């Protein structure tokens, strides 16, 4: 692995770790601070909103200023804002900050954390697009997906282990890891030059060739976020688990999902080497099977198979939509398209918690059935794309 690839992997991993360390401990912190459950939802949603809003902006800035400066600025901002958020939590737990002011600073600083994370993700994805040719692009984006998977594995693991010391220890670890990553990337990542932008041809999310991959990004992330949000409730209601059993079971399930994302990138890079459409097509089929297992089984071991298939399918689809979106635009638009992809992921993180929990209250199987239906529709779109490309190639030849 080259210095550039290693530094991009580290950047994405740290950004994902920042999200996954905070998410598992937020409900417990809310309870300890004497706040209501709705405040936990607001806290998570505000970070997602800022991610969706800021991602395209960071992508454009990285085009003008260069990828490395944006990544370093994002890491510094993530570390500092997490320090400030930790101070607010610490003050609340010790009664130094209470009531409306406590809630205000929590929401504000969680928004700031959410503002810096898409800078890291957008610039890292754009840098991979800059430094790989069309044939190598899938392998490069698989590396980013692998970093996401590793963050998905280690985030809950770190949160679970270090929260035994105190609820704030996972945040201390996250701050240290981010600071170390900033130092390492400062020396490891080669300097990057700004991209010359073509002002007369601005990128649009609905332009032909791009909207299909943004749709795939939306479906993929909606699927992942939905299972993260309601997976625990679903297992508890289906298997009559205690709260402790539920927390342990869903944490292990999400770690299996992250491991599958990580492994499937290795398989794709070394042996499969599928094109973006094929990746999304087969990935959506795996997600359909995963949802069917969730819906039909009543065995905990079978649910872990569903988590495994979820990770494998999502891993293929993540590589597919990142690669496809990158190849759909010119070299001077890599920052813009990376920002759009990250924004779609942020939008999914806003919609999924509200929609999935609302539908779950109506009937607990609706969210899984809805994901399956979305994946069927996406698979049909990809199948149509495959047939169209084959037809065009036959006519050309």
- Poorest-pLDDT segment among 181-185, 227-231, 237-241, 341-345: 227-231
pLDDT tens per residue across span 300-311: 999 999 999 999
Q: Distance between CA 221 and CA 140 in Å, rounded?
A: 20
Percent of the chain at pLDDT exceeding 90:
59
In 229-265, which positions are buried (b, 16+ CB within 10 angstroms) versus exposed (e)?
Answer: bbbbbbbbebeebeeeebbebbbbbbbbbbbbbbbbb
Q: Is residue 295 part of a domain?
A: yes
Q: Is residue 199 part of a domain?
A: no
Q: Is residue 385 part of a domain?
A: yes
Q: Is residue 361 part of a domain?
A: yes
Q: Of all helices (H) and strands (E), which one includes residue 166?
A: none
pLDDT tens per residue across span 90-136: 999 999 988 889 999 999 999 999 999 999 999 999 999 999 988 88
Contacts 24+ apart (CB under 8 A), 31-34: 32/93, 32/167, 33/89, 33/92, 33/93, 33/102
Q: Which residues contact 82 (CB under 8 A, 6 or more apart)?
A: 18, 22, 113, 171, 174, 175, 178
Q: Distance between CA 353 and CA 333 in Å, rounded?
A: 31
Q: What angle do CA 156, 159, 163 make, to 5 degrees?
A: 150
pLDDT tens per residue across span 205-252: 778 789 999 999 999 999 998 898 788 888 888 998 876 677 678 778
Backbone angles phi, psi at 131, to 5 degrees: -95, 5
Task: Indicate the pLDDT class of residue 195, thresholds 50, 70 and 90.
Answer: low
Q: How far is CA 95 from CA 25, 32, 99, 102, 271, in A?
A: 19, 11, 10, 10, 56
Question: In the predicted model, is pLDDT for residue 278 greater than 80?
Answer: yes
Give me the CATH number covering residue 227.
Answer: 1.20.1250.20
Q: Is residue 238 part of a domain?
A: yes
Q: Is residue 197 part of a domain?
A: no
Q: What secondary structure letter does DSSP report for 190?
A: P
- Give the residue numbers spanning the domain of 322: 3-190+206-396
pLDDT tens per residue across span 66-90: 999 999 999 999 999 999 999 999 9
Q: Which residues contact 4 (CB under 8 A, 6 or more apart)?
A: 127, 131, 189, 190
Q: Distance between CA 22 and CA 169 in Å, rounded?
A: 11
Question: In the predicted model, is pLDDT for residue 198 greater than 90?
Answer: no
Q: Which of 161-175, 362-376, 380-394 has the highest mean pLDDT?
A: 362-376
Percent of the chain at pLDDT exceeding 70:
96
| Tally of domains in the chain | 1
Q: Is residue 198 part of a domain?
A: no
Task: Indicate the pLDDT class of residue 316, thresholds 50, 70 and 90.
Answer: very high
Task: Indicate the pLDDT class of residue 200, thresholds 50, 70 and 90.
Answer: very low
Q: What is the mean pLDDT of the chain?
A: 89
Q: Is residue 72 part of a domain?
A: yes
Task: Indicate the pLDDT class of residue 199, thresholds 50, 70 and 90.
Answer: very low
Contact 124, 8 (CB under 8 A): yes
């Amino acid at each position: 692995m080259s210095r550039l690839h290693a530094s991009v992997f580290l950047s994405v991993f740290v950004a994902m770790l920042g999200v996954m360390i905070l998410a598992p401990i937020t409900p417990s912190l809310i309870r300890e601070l004497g706040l209501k459950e709705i405040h936990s939802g607001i806290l998570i949603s505000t970070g997602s909103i800022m991610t969706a809003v800021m991602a395209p902006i960071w992508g454009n800035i990285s085009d003008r200023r260069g990828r490395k400066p944006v990544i370093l600025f994002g890491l510094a901002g993530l570390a500092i804002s997490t320090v400030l958020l930790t101070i607010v939590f610490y003050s609340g737990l010790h009664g130094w900050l209470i009531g409306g002011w406590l809630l205000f600073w929590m929401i504000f600083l969680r928004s700031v954390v959410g503002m810096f994370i898409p800078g890291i993700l957008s610039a890292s994805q754009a840098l991979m697009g800059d430094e790989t040719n069309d044939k190598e692009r899938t392998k490069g984006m698989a590396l980013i997906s692998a970093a996401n998977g590793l963050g998905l594995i280690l985030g809950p693991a770190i949160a679970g282990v270090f929260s035994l010391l105190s609820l704030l220890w996972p945040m201390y670890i996250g701050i240290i890891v981010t600071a170390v990553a900033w130092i390492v990337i400062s020396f490891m990542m080669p300097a990057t030059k700004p991209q010359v932008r073509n002002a007369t041809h601005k990128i649009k999310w609905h332009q032909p060739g791009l909207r299909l991959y943004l749709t795939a990004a939306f479906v993929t992330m909606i699927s992942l976020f939905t299972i993260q949000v309601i997976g625990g409730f679903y297992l508890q209601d289906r298997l009559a688990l205690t709260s402790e059993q539920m927390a342990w079971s869903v944490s292990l399930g999400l770690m299996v999902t992250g491991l599958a994302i990580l492994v499937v990138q290795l398989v794709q890079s070394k042996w499969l080497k599928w094109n973006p459409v094929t990746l999304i097509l087969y990935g959506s089929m795996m997600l359909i099977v995963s949802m069917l297992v969730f819906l039909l089984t009543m065995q905990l071991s079978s649910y872990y198979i569903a988590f495994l298939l979820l990770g494998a399918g999502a891993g293929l689809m993540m590589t597919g939509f990142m690669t496809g979106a990158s190849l759909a635009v010119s070299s001077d638009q890599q920052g813009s398209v990376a920002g759009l992809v990250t924004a779609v992921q942020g939008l999914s993180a806003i919609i999924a918690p509200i929609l999935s929990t609302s539908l779950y209250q109506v009937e607990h199987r609706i969210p899984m059935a809805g994901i399956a239906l979305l994946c069927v529709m996406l698979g049909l779109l990809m199948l149509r794309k495959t047939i169209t490309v084959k037809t065009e190639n036959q006519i050309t030849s």
